Structure 1
Amino acid sequence: MTDEPLLSLRTFIEDVERIGELRHVHGAHWDLEIGGIAELSYRRPKPQALLFDDIVDYPSGHRLLVGSTGTSRRFGRTLRLGDDLDDFGLVEALRGKPSKWAAAARDFPVEVVERAPFHENVLEGNDANLLAFPVPRWHGHDGGRFIGTGCLVVTSDPETGVHNGGCYRMQVQDDGRATTIAAVPGKHGAQNIERWFAREGRAPVTVSFGHDPLLLALGGTEVPGGISELEYAGAVLGQRVPVVLGEETGLPIPAGTEIVVEGWLTPEESRVEGPFGEWTGYYAGSPRPTPNLRVNRIYYRDNPILLGAPPGKPPHDYSYMRTVMKSAMIQDELVSMGVPGVKSAWAHETGGGRLFIAVAIEQRYAGHARQVGYLAAQCPAAAYMNRYVVVVDEDIDVTDLGEVVWAMSTRSDPATDIEIMNRTWGSKLDPMLEPDQTPYNSRAVIDACRPWHRLKSFPRVAESDPAYLREVQQRWGQFLD
């Protein structure tokens, strides 16, 4: 494919097909069937990316991609780290990169261009309807059709002008003439919107609905405040990201996007949004009024492609992506604090990449495991909605939940090895949160390391030497497959 702008979803799809991880699906229905097929795919050991076409009620060529970052090869390609890495290799390749990208972001200001492929088509006035595109109803009890799952919502700080890109859920409203934007409270995008409301009584936004999944990854990650996700993406790519400035808002729109809307949010304009099957695996958070964006103009490419990233009970569309990103960031933050002996960290996909974190250490002193546990529970990369941190010895594979639970079961005493932290950073998406309750949560730090004072006398693990097992595998492996 030639002459595609940087961060084109089409280039990404071509690359994924080249490595044999794309499957074409024809004839599925937008109402639940696409969501059901995607859910079944996510549960497979090596889920494919799925490109839906010939969707019921829509013309051929109006497509939808899901599962874009669901394996180490696809996510490695997304982060430009290589498409031949396994899980551990991807985390190791990512180690140290987020801080370097953040430091370099300002060296890659966006590059403003006049035209982009999304100018090929425009819908205006009464024709500007989001349901002209195959927006799915993903889950059976969703409150409607959600176009914003893999989107990028761009806002700006009215004081500094720094723009932010966030991935928020967006429900189609008013029969396709509008969409709610559920920016997560406390996140930079929501803060920008509130600042604009306070200053001018309205807030500008642009939204991209189809782009390279790198923008999905960055929009759902805690990029440091004051740094634009588009400039951060430039640092990842080593190239400035081309953008078109919105006609109504002046905000940047990635030139490689497939479908674009822009406009202004106001405090008075809201619609009831939800429920929606969320990344915790529940319909958490009751339907509530949410800022509503009226759509007066839609730009889109010929044969447009929506990027979908529906959450749900893990594993879901982006749970693997979040696991890898969080694992590398948590380990980097622990090391940057000067904590010795940190060997690995893993934010388990079962917990949505946030709720359950395991950290392996080489114990150096009494209290070392508790120190690491407390720091991991509250470091910036893990502070939001964490619930359990388990610290284990370095002989435990933190990616293997069975090994982590074995360590908890045999190396911890519940009476003395579980510490509870209260009134920590929770979320209204927490299924344990009572209605109208302030969104605090609590979290447990579990010391599942061998007791420091018994390191030399603790019972030996009943397993063979790994080197010997490799020899056995070489000689007898044909009988074990």
Structure 2
Amino acid sequence: MGSLDDINDLRGWLELAEKLGEVRTITGAHWDKEIGAASEVNYKRPSPPALLFDDIVGYGTGQRVLTASMANARRLGMTLRLGTDLDDRGLVEALRTRPGEWAANASRYPVRVVETGPVRENVFAAGEAGLLDFPVPQWHEGDGGRYIGTGCAVFTTDPETGVLNAGAYRMQVQNDGRAASINIEAGKHGAAHVREWFKREGRAPVTASLGHDPLLLVVAGTEVPGGVSELEYAGAVLGRPVEVILGEVTGLPIPATAEIAVEGWLYPDRKEQEGPFGEWTGYYSGGTEAVLTMDIERIYHRDNPIQLGAPPGKPPHDYSYMRSVMKSAMIQDALIRTGLPGVEGVWAHEAGGGRQLLAVAINQQYAGHARQAGYLTSQLPAAAYMNKFVVVVDADVDPRSLNDVVWAMCTRTDPAEDIETMRQTWGSRVDPLREKGVPPFNTRAVIDACRPYTRLADFPKVAEASRELIDQVLRRWPDVLGGSW
């Protein structure tokens, strides 16, 4: 049937996913909103399949767009090379300690520079081809244009150390396909690299991959620790180095098996009006603003290239499941590494885009333990960006169950005593609460939804059947009760 070891690129990933029955094909959709709308409908299904769009209106057969690549546990587990038969619980268990191990081992997998690769099957200089030669979707009805960069990996380097960063920043097609704006949040590593290049050279080199093994979207779209190259981190996941070519213009890496890639330079005064765009908060990022824009110096692509689409929107969206799983694992690992005892579980809920609502389950061991867990979690580098709520619950509450978390809040939280607020923390330009022209701070709350430490011995007992009794009735009536719990 094929194995995880056979995946070397997006095509190998797609072949295995198809063999597992995880892909559905849609033909004849229009790039103008239909691909986005069909994808949105799909995200709301239980365990949604991946969607592959072909014969897109106005474009030839074979120029495809893939969405929902990692929208369920089986395909995300496959992408992370953890297995092809994992469910939600199995995926969470398989990920325990892995993010920290991958980060620690990343330096053992420096990228391997190769002379050529499939991405060089077609190479065009500026003016010889454009981004609209590909079926770039307008994803949402209210978007300000067509976005080729949603499931992308944008590469920048630290001009002093040479450390590479990959970020999943939205890229809007500009100037009829001859340019692309790159919307990098100010607090991201890529933005710091660009600012340093501007100071030193007056321009910043950039490359971007627009279709690739979805693993590159995972590492580009989540907070890999600072100083760790995302491509080396991906190598640690794979157990082998990622092969790259070097861009003809900038010398920056491009994944050798990418489907489509571009390169060029950013200049401080080269900006285009960008947006609005339907963002992961579930709202359009308000209005338009001038954003750094790259004039395309080179376009590289394979024959019949596949775009990796990952449009955000009101959750659940394309990558909200992936982000929830990855952020949960990264935050839990980081929290344990602080030395905090009694950590039972962490979950970054999809309703908050995998960032804004975090639930932490602990086994209370001392007075103040719950608040300590909440404050630590709220400011961990893996969790701090645009977090709004950290809810700390007891170990008897499943942090993955929004119902259970809210139940604990309703029955164990005194609003006057158990909600702490933190002001002027790390926010985002895409926050719908942000007022235009105001720095993107946000306020966050730490909610203690644990039983009061002073009442652990006499707090009312939860009215639910014991694990033993549940197992007993499941064994007696498996056909009626489902056989598992």
Taking structure 1 as the reference length, the TM-score comes to 0.97
Give the 3-state SS of the residue equivalent to 2:127 in structure 1: helix
8 Å contact kept, 1:205–1:262: yes
Partner residue in 2 for 1:48: 49
Partner residue in 1 for 2:124: 123
Alignment-mate amino acid for residue 102 of structure 2: W
Query: How many Å apart are 1:259 and its aligned residue?
Result: 0.7
Q: 1:366-413: per-residue Cα shift (whole Å, max 9, x none)?
A: 111111111111111111100001111111111110111111011111
Aligned 1:310-329 pairs, distance under 5 A: 310-329=311-330
Partner residue in 2 for 1:17: 18
Partner residue in 1 for 2:178: 177
Give the 3-state SS of the residue equivalent to 1:296 in structure 2: strand
List 4+ stretches of structure 1 deviating above 6 A: none
Counterparts of 1:86 and 1:5 in 2: how far apart (Å)?
Answer: 22
Counterparts of 1:378 and 1:355 in 2: how far apart (Å)?
Answer: 12
Partner residue in 2 for 1:392: 393
Alignment-mate amino acid for residue 42 of structure 2: S
Give the 3-state SS of the residue equivalent to 2:273 in structure 1: strand
Counterparts of 1:79 and 1:6 in 2: how far apart (Å)?
Answer: 11
Aligned length in residues: 480
Taking structure 2 as the reference length, the TM-score comes to 0.96
Partner residue in 1 for 2:429: 428
8 Å contact kept, 1:5–1:256: no
Measured at CA, do residues 31 and 479 of structure 1 come closer, stay the same or move farther in structure 2, by a change above 3 Å? same
Give the 3-state SS of the residue equivalent to 2:13 in structure 1: helix
Query: How many Å apart are 1:7 and its aligned residue?
Result: 4.0
Query: How many Å apart are 1:276 and its aligned residue?
Result: 0.3
Query: Unpaired runs of 5+ in structure 1?
Result: none
Q: 1:111-137: per-residue Cα shift (whole Å, max 9, x none)?
A: 111111122223334332100101000
Alignment-mate amino acid for residue 55 of structure 1: I
Aligned 1:229-248 pairs, distance under 5 A: 229-248=230-249
Give the 3-state SS of the residue equivalent to 1:441 in structure 2: strand
Q: 1:173-205: per-residue Cα shift (whole Å, max 9, x none)?
A: 011111101112111111111111111111111
Alignment-mate amino acid for residue 141 of structure 2: G
Alignment-mate amino acid for residue 479 of structure 2: Q
8 Å contact kept, 1:5–1:255: no
Partner residue in 1 for 2:31: 30
Give the 3-state SS of the residue equivalent to 2:416 in structure 1: helix
Alignment-mate amino acid for residue 50 of structure 2: A
Counterparts of 2:268 and 2:211 in 1: how far apart (Å)?
Answer: 27
Query: Unpaired runs of 5+ in structure 2?
Result: none
Measured at CA, do residues 209 and 179 of structure 1 come closer, stay the same or move farther in structure 2, by a change above 3 Å? same
Query: How many Å apart are 1:437 and its aligned residue?
Result: 1.2
Counterparts of 1:479 and 1:331 in 2: how far apart (Å)?
Answer: 36
Question: Are positions 1:213 and 2:214 aligned together?
Answer: yes
Counterparts of 2:72 and 2:303 in 1: how far apart (Å)?
Answer: 29
Q: 1:413-436: per-residue Cα shift (whole Å, max 9, x none)?
A: 111111111111111111111111
Aligned 1:70-219 pairs, distance under 5 A: 70-219=71-220
8 Å contact kept, 1:355–1:385: yes
Alignment-mate amino acid for residue 219 of structure 2: L
Counterparts of 2:270 and 2:447 in 1: how far apart (Å)?
Answer: 46
- Identity of counterpart residues, as a percentage? 62
Alignment-mate amino acid for residue 75 of structure 2: R
Partner residue in 2 for 1:300: 301
Query: How many Å apart are 1:207 and its aligned residue?
Result: 1.0
8 Å contact kept, 1:146–1:171: yes
Counterparts of 1:235 and 1:61 in 2: how far apart (Å)?
Answer: 32
Alignment-mate amino acid for residue 413 of structure 1: D
Q: Which moved more, 1:255-264 or 1:284-293?
A: 284-293
Give the 3-state SS of the residue equivalent to 2:69 in structure 1: coil
Partner residue in 2 for 1:277: 278
